[in-house]
């Protein structure tokens, strides 16, 4: 067999191995914190020996950890270190840093910076306001179209990315999103309002650079029952801070 053909086969095999490992990491990020080997094999469509081999490699890299008592698997601590390294390299976070505490004091609510990762919204920075209460919100990764951030950034994404987001949501959400994409893509801010005795709502503004690329969203919590005028005032503060932060990137 020619060496070039062998190299192409090895390349395809390596790519398949990486893709399978990523699939396992995604599955471990869903459902219970610790999961059984056989369940992961069934959900992934891979054989038990293949899943076991991949998990052993991921455990050695600390990307996955195994509970010594139950032998079940979970995401590993190395992912936290890598995520912090990634966040440290995001210019928009450094540009926003001087504004977050000022915004929190100005609007008297929690301020967060969020980004869209595939079909989910991830919080990458946060300054708690007086509305935070005694307990911090848990680390959650909401489905994109349930949030103001996801609607703003998803609508501005490529058609392929938008399609993937639609495939991850319910039929009712999909119908609303398809009808609203142009409106969301043009919006300078959006709000998803909270419910009485439930979690607060959020108003978000997109952070868009000079090339019209969406870098993320600046978000503030709004209490249930907030008036339209109050929400618009908060959105105005977010827009001004976001515009100033993005402008600093252009001068960097």
Percentage of residues of the chain with pLDDT beyond 90: 73
CA-based nearest residue to 151, from 64, 217, 73: 217
Mean pLDDT of 23-48: 94
Q: Which of 9-18, 37-46, 154-163 comes out lowest in average pLDDT? A: 9-18
pLDDT band at 180 (very low <50, low <70, confident <90, very high): very high
User: Using one digit for the tens of pLDDT, what is the confidence trace for 5-16?
Assistant: 333 333 345 678
Please give the backbone phi and psi of residue 220, each rounded to the nearest 5 degrees, phi first: -130, 145
pLDDT (0 to 100) of residue 211: 84
pLDDT (0 to 100) of residue 224: 80
Q: For residues 52 and 66, what is the distance between their CA atoms, to the nearest angstrom?
A: 11
Scanning the chain, the segments in alpha helix (DSSP H) are: 3-28, 37-44, 48-60, 78-88, 91-107, 148-156, 159-167, 171-186, 228-251
- What's the DSSP call for residue 146? G
Tokens at residue 39, please?
């369940």
Total-model pTM: 0.83
Burial class, 206, CB count within 10 angstroms (exposed 0-12 / middle 13-18 / buried 19+): buried
Q: Name the one residue in this structure whose structure tokens are 């920075």.
A: 125
């Amino acid at each position: 067999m020619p060496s070039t053909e062998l190299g192409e086969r090895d390349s395809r095999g390596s790519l398949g191995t990486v893709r399978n490992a990523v699939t396992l990491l995604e599955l471990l990020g869903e459902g219970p914190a610790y999961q059984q080997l056989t369940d992961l094999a069934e959900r992934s469509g891979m054989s038990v020996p293949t899943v076991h081999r991949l998990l052993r490699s991921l455990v050695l890299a600390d990307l996955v950890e195994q509970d010594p008592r139950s032998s079940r698997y979970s995401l590993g601590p190395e992912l936290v270190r890598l995520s912090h390294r990634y966040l440290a390299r995001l210019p928009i976070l450094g540009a926003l840093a001087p504004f977050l505490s000022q915004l929190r004091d100005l609007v008297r609510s929690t301020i967060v910076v969020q980004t869209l990762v595939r079909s989910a919204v991830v919080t990458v920075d946060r300054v708690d306001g007086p509305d935070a209460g005694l307990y911090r919100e848990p680390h959650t990764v909401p489905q994109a179209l349930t949030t103001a951030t996801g609607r703003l950034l998803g609508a501005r994404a490529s058609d392929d990315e938008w399609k993937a987001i639609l495939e991850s949501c319910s039929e009712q959400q999909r119908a609303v999103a398809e009808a609203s994409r142009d409106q969301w893509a043009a919006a300078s801010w959006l709000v998803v309002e909270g419910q009485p005795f439930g979690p607060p709502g959020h108003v978000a503004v997109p952070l868009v650079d000079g090339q019209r690329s969406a870098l993320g969203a600046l978000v503030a919590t709004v209490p249930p029952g907030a008036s339209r005028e109050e929400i618009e005032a908060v959105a105005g503060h977010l827009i001004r801070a976001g515009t100033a932060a993005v402008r600093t990137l252009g001068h960097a």
